[in-house]
A and B are shown apart, each in its own frame.
Chain A
Amino acid sequence: MFVALRDLRYAWGRFVLMGAVIALVAVLTVLLTGLSSGLVNSGISGLRAMPLTHLAFAPKTNSTFSQSTLDAAAIRSLDRQPGIRAEPLGLTLFNAKDGADTSFSIALAGIEPGGFMADGVAGGSALGRTPAGVIISQGIAADGVHVGDRITLDRTGMTLRVAGIAPTATYGHVDLIYAPIALWRQATYGQVTGGVLPATARGLASAAALRVQPGTGVAAIGTRLGVDIETKQQAYAGSPGYVAETSTMSLIIDFLYVIAALIVGAFFTVWTIQRKTDIGLLKALGASNGAVLRDALGQVALVMVVATGIGALAGSGIGSLIQGGKIPFALQSDAIVTAAVILVVAGLAGSLVAVRRITAVDPIIALGAAA
């Protein structure tokens, strides 16, 4: 790094320019990472917070709550399997109105009062004390809905009474409302028959929430019982738009990594061409290829780490201003650090393009005349 550090000091202007470009890429990467995390949270934070390890869906329903229906017998069968506890879980998207007649969208989650699902929801013990009592996500409370307020569901005209408030939890980008499973059935199936729950709908649920002990062969059980069993993480893909959104964001971020690699590769290729005589001189003085390469790559690493660090800090600062607003945005330090590390690695990978040029420089160019 003897020459590399002095080159940085001497030609600071061009390295600042290069670093600024990398820093801007880092800012963009951090913002997109935050947006990606925010979209993920907005899509599946409610499901992620649920105290379950697996979900069982009806077969051939793409593991989506809107397409899947399980009856009570199927859920009981699952519950009887060794190493598995199963409870019904209903999940349906509704439009709703608060007392001020303000419309908003909700995801109504039906869970068993007193069951493990209710135990895992903050304030879930309040479920079932009153027939229409529900627990709302903090996101709804933030819009001015309080405990004791009424929420009316569109289409069915059912009225829910707010019995408690849980931390913000969303599914498919709308806030969750936890309701007793019976209330969920009434809301989901009762509308067809004018508010009277048909006998065929009794015991139905969208899916079964499962708590599976490690080592339990869920795949074989699922096949035997005729249900699709997926891990909680696999079930995220069933959230509306989840795959499309995460894929799009990942693609954009991946392109940024490629762009960073190309920028760094182009810069250091030009830089290497410009200092070809210097490299030849170093070799003529006896420096090995390895020593010259270490010097050059050390320079790239230093520029990348400093520029990415500055960019990541600036991006985090901007992100903290965005976070908490209407834009789904979540700054997660582990995601930012991962993105920064990948950016540095991408830059180093890009700079490898120049490596061949460095090793190919013949020390003889240090002599004035071609020999």
Chain B
Amino acid sequence: MNVRKDTMDAKTPRGGLRMDHLCLRYGDGDDEIVALDDVSLAVDPGELVAVVGASGSGKSSLLAVAGAMRRPDSGKITIGGLEVTERQAKERATVRRDLIGFVFQGSNLLASLTALEQLELVGRIGGAPRAATRSKALSLLEEVGLAAKAGRRPGQLSGGERQRVGIARALMAEPAALLADEPTSALDHQRATDIVTLLRDETRRHRIATLMVTHDRSVAGLADRIIEMRDGRLIEAGASWVP
């Protein structure tokens, strides 16, 4: 299955990330935990939405469901105009490959790969031609200001640089949605601000719907919209949300 071919309109303003009435529960009986309770959220292309909330509020569950890693108990998820809710595991992998870019906590880069190879890996997974993949990877590294460090491995990069590589990697597959999981957790304030600014700029430049989960309330204000999660529910906090 090639999701990309099915969703050529994914980059249109009608695309983006849309979640309708999502519910997710873990366990049963007295042990039941409601991770997502009737969550609805739409992130438009070019928009950066920050999700904040206390530990256990359901932020990670939201990311797991939006990232096609968990199937919700009910509700609907649409990414780039394509409904992905009921897809089987293999198809969900294809959805992740073709429609979603991930920026992980602590960058989550492979230690054995150089910065350039981290990006090329995405092209390889997608079966893209090598020459085109390399060219695009170099272009993206240039975009995030790391062209000169393309040959360095994660251990030879600073925390901020690693996260920049992570952002460039997330852009490799030209995703309709970008999901960022605590992208600034290991960074000082200045670097955290730089990273979220970069994330916001790339979101706008590439017209991606970006959902960022963060504990770092100081950088959440850089997002276009801030949502607070509490007990599995979303509470719109607005652009001027103050912790």
Which residue on chain B has the smallest CB distance to residue A363? B69
Which residue on chain B has the smallest CB distance to residue A368? B105
- Is A60's beta carbon under 8 Å from chain B? no
A-B contact count (CB 8 A): 98
- Is B70's beta carbon under 8 Å from chain A? yes
CB distance from A3 to the nearest CB of B (A): 7
Which residue on chain A has the smallest CB distance to residue B104? A366
A287 touches B97 (CB 8 A): yes
Number of B residues contacting the other chain (C-beta, 8 Å)?
40
- The 8 A CB mask of A272-291 against B (1 = contact, 0 = none) is 00000110011111111101
A286 touches B96 (CB 8 A): yes
- Is A17's beta carbon under 8 Å from chain B? no
Query: In the complex where A284-B67, A285-B96, A288-B93 touch, is A2 in contact with B185 (Cβ < 8 A)?
Result: no
Number of A residues contacting the other chain (C-beta, 8 Å)?
28
CA A278 – CA B104 in complex, angstroms? Answer: 12
CA A3 – CA B125 in complex, angstroms? Answer: 11
A278 touches B110 (CB 8 A): yes
A367 touches B64 (CB 8 A): yes
Query: In the complex where A286-B97, A367-B64 touch, is A281 in contact with B125 (Cβ < 8 A)?
Result: no
CB under 8 Å from chain A, chain B span 69-119: 69-70, 90, 93-98, 100, 102, 104-106, 108, 110-113, 117
CB distance from B86 to the nearest CB of A (A): 18
- Is A326's beta carbon under 8 Å from chain B? no
CB distance from A7 to the nearest CB of B (A): 5
Say which residue of A11, A284, A288, A291 sits within 8 Å of B102 (CB atoms).
Answer: A284
Ordered by A's residue number, 6 sampled pairs between the chains whose C-beta atoms are within 8 Å are: A6-B112, A284-B69, A288-B94, A367-B105, A369-B181, A371-B69
Q: A281-B108, A284-B102 are in contact. List 17 more A-B contacts (CB 8 A).
A: A2-B117, A2-B124, A283-B93, A284-B69, A285-B102, A286-B94, A286-B97, A286-B122, A286-B173, A287-B93, A288-B90, A289-B90, A362-B69, A363-B96, A364-B70, A367-B67, A367-B181
Residues of A within 8 A of B (CB): 2-3, 6-7, 9-11, 277-278, 281-289, 291, 362-364, 366-371
